[in-house]
Amino acid sequence: MSRHADLVARYGSPLYVYDLDRVTAARDALLSSLPEGVELFFSFKANPHPEIARALRGDGRNGCMAEISSTGELAAALEAGFDGSQVLYTGPGKTYAEIEAAVDAGVAMFSVESPTDLQHVGEVATGRGVVVDCLLRVNSATSSAATSIRMTGTPSQFGIDSETLPELMPELRTVPGTRLAGVHLFSLSNSKDEESLVAEFRNTISVAARLEREAGLPIRFLDIGGGFAAPYLTPGERPVYPNLRAELSAILDEHFPAWREGTPRVACESGRHLVGDCGELLSTVVNIKESRGRKFVILDAGINTLGGMSGLGRLLPVSVRPAEDDLPEGAGPAEQEVATLAGPLCTPGDILGKNVRLPVLKIGDVVGIPNAGAYGMTASLLMFLGRPAPAEVVVRGGEVVSASRIEFVRTYQ
Ligand SMILES: *Cc1c(COP(=O)(O)O)cnc(C)c1O
């Protein structure tokens, strides 16, 4: 039996498989593309699986820190071995209860997105008798690169408008329980190439330097966000950034000449680039039918299992291939046809690909959807239509190191 079919036979279908060797390879490659000393946050929202987070944390010296924004992600970070001092807590709608849980777990740095958000963090910290570091998340009036997801320059629930900062500073500086530590700018996701990534960092860093100069905002910690890209659900390689290290060093030298001595500490963030290519979703063809001249291939994985969030209102860029080692020895490229790839849910929205090129499949075939390690299962409509969550199998060096399944349980109170 092939490895994929074997995993499906043991753990069921659909099934996520995550390869930790790829996780550490992505982390090491990204860290070596960054200037020495620049720190890296892993954004848990891309994939909060504790084994993945543990692999990214590494031995604590050459690893990632954790960027989280819920109590669930906090629990995952703690389970993965992060301690509070390695965690940045972000998000525009932090409740008192979650700020309390974070402070109690030793989280000592928050990104705050509005003056009231800062107040709330300060109230909790004061009640606990501690002072926490706060980064002001800034919604910059300017931005540079072309991007698929843009979060600055327009009205937004994220961040404090940069133009209002000079006038807000006296109020922001004096919130009991908090100490302003610097800024957090996150303006770009999945940049189209290295050039736009560098252009965005150039803009971000100059905005930060201007805020320090003109608004008197002290910057001991500078979080310049991310934008590192990754292929999603289609074949492709994780991009490399051969010029980033030199370019980013030069930009930092220009605006923050003491950064190499740690003033400020500089960090960036990544989710998809670190974990996108570690994951593959295995799914089984459960039915094939024709309707009015069109062929439908129905999988046991739909938007309840894969990318449901991004699937709302638009089609995913999904491509499937026969699970690699299911191909007979010496087989050429699989024969292809055009068909619509549907999930099992009772909604017309459960379409993974309309009239896409697919290998010719039959009922029972196991297919693999590549580059599904980020924004896969937990970015999906897991509860919708009440199917069980897929199992998640973690492998390292070709060996299964863990297999688990998230359960939904209704508890009455
Ligand atoms: C989502 C998010 C990220 C990660 O984005 P990727 O495109 O997955 O790298 C980083 N920082 C913040 C603040 C985010 O909200």
Domain-located, residue 96: yes
pLDDT confidence bin for 271, thresholds 50/70/90: very high
Atom of ligand 1 nearest to the CA of 375: 8
Quick one: which atom of ligand 1 is closest to the CA of 151?
15
Mutate to test the pocket of ligand 1, among 68, 269, 272, 278 (most ligand atoms within 8 A of CB): 269
Instruction: Give the mutation target among 23, 27, 45, 148 for probing the ligand 1 site: most ligand atoms within 8 A of CB.
Output: 45
Residues 255 and 299 in one domain: no
Asked if 264 and 162 sit in the same domain, the reply is yes
Residue 288: predicted pLDDT: 97
> Domain end: 270, 300, 326, which one?
270
Residue ranges lining ligand 1, Cβ < 6 Å:
43, 45-46, 67, 90, 186, 189-190, 226, 228, 269-273, 374
Classify residue 2 as exposed, middle or buried by CB count within 10 Å of its CB (0-12, 13-18, 19+): middle
pLDDT for the residue numbered 248: 98
Residue with CA at minimum distance from ligand 1 atom 6: 271
Nearest CA to ligand 1 atom 2: 43
Residue 223 inside a domain? The answer is yes
How many Cβ atoms sit within 10 Å of the Cβ of residue 404?
14
319 and 244 inside one domain: no
CATH assignment at residue 339: 2.40.37.10
**What confidence tens digit (pLDDT) does each residue in 55-107 have?**
999 987 789 999 999 999 999 999 999 999 999 999 999 999 999 999 999 99
Distance from C-alpha of 385 to C-alpha of 25, rounded to nearest angstrom: 37
Indicate if 121 and 204 belong to the same structural domain: yes
Ligand 1: centre distance to CA 189 (Å)? 7
- The span from the CA of 247 to the CA of 241, in Å, is 10
Give the integer Cα–Cα distance in Å for 118 and 135: 9
User: How confident is the model over 211-269, as pLDDT tens digits?
Assistant: 999 999 999 999 999 999 999 998 999 999 999 999 999 999 999 999 999 999 999 99
Structural domain ending residue among the three candidates 227, 246, 270: 270
Q: Residues 383, 245: one domain?
A: no
Q: Is residue 39 part of a domain?
A: yes
3-state secondary structure (DSSP) of residue 63 = coil
Q: Determine how many CB atoms are found less than 10 A away from the CB of residue 287.
A: 12
Highest mean pLDDT range out of 95-99, 153-157, 349-353, 376-380?
A: 95-99
Q: Indicate if the pLDDT at residue 22 is higher than 60.
A: yes
Choose between 138 and 333: higher pLDDT: 138
Say if residue 257 is in the same domain as residue 348.
no
Is a pLDDT exceeding 70 seen at residue 143? no
Question: Which pLDDT tens digit goes with each residue over 158-178?
Answer: 999 988 999 999 999 999 999
120 three-state secondary structure: helix
Q: Domains in the chain: how many in total?
A: 2
Residue 206: predicted pLDDT: 95
Provide CB contacts within 8 A for 329, sequence distance 6+. Answer: none
State whether 249 and 295 are in the same domain: no
Per-residue pLDDT at 325 exceeds 60:
no
Ligand 1 pocket test, pick from 23, 41, 189, 224 with the greatest ligand atom count within 8 Å of Cβ, gives 189
Q: Which two tokens stand for residue 351?
A: 């379409």
Phi and psi dihedrals of 155, rounded to 5?
A: -55, 140
What pLDDT sits at residue 332? 59
Average pLDDT over residues 15-39: 97
Q: Is the pLDDT of residue 151 over 70?
A: no
With contact defined as beta carbons under 8 Å apart, do 121 and 178 qualify? yes
| Rounded average pLDDT over 276-304 | 96
Residue 59 pLDDT: 84
| Residue 23 falls inside a structural domain | no
CA of 339 to the centre of ligand 1 (A): 34
Find the length of the chain: 413
- Say if 343 falls within a structural domain: yes
Query: Based on the domain organization, do 246 and 176 belong to the same domain?
Result: yes
Q: Which atom of ligand 1 is nearest to the CA of 374?
A: 8
> Higher pLDDT residue, 326 or 232?
232
**Residue range of the domain that includes 362:** 3-14+277-405
Place of tokens 């010296």: 61
DSSP characters over 361-387: --TT-EEEE-S-SSSSGGGS-TTGGGP
pLDDT at 260: 97
**Cα of 85 to ligand 1 centre, how many Å?**
20
Residue nearest to atom 5 of ligand 1 (CA): 271
Ligand 1 atom with the smallest distance to the CA of 90 is 13
97 and 193 assigned to the same domain: yes
pTM of the model: 0.94
Q: Say whether both 319 and 220 belong to one domain.
A: no
Query: In Å, how far from its chain's centre is CA 20?
Result: 16
Q: How far is the CA of 111 from the centre of ligand 1 (A)?
A: 13
Query: At residue 307, does pLDDT exceed 80?
Result: no
Q: Quick one: pLDDT at residue 330?
A: 53
pLDDT given for residue 148 in this prediction: 43
Per-residue pLDDT at 364 exceeds 50: yes
What is the 34 CA–ligand 1 centroid distance (Å)?
17
254, 270, 286 — which closes off a domain? 270
Same structural domain for residues 285 and 247?
no
Mean pLDDT in the chain?
91
Find the CATH number of the domain harbouring 72.
Answer: 3.20.20.10
412 belongs to a structural domain: no
Q: Which of 30, 90, 139, 186 to mutate to test the pocket of ligand 1 (most atoms within 8 A of CB)?
A: 186
Q: Is residue 264 located within the same domain as residue 292?
A: no
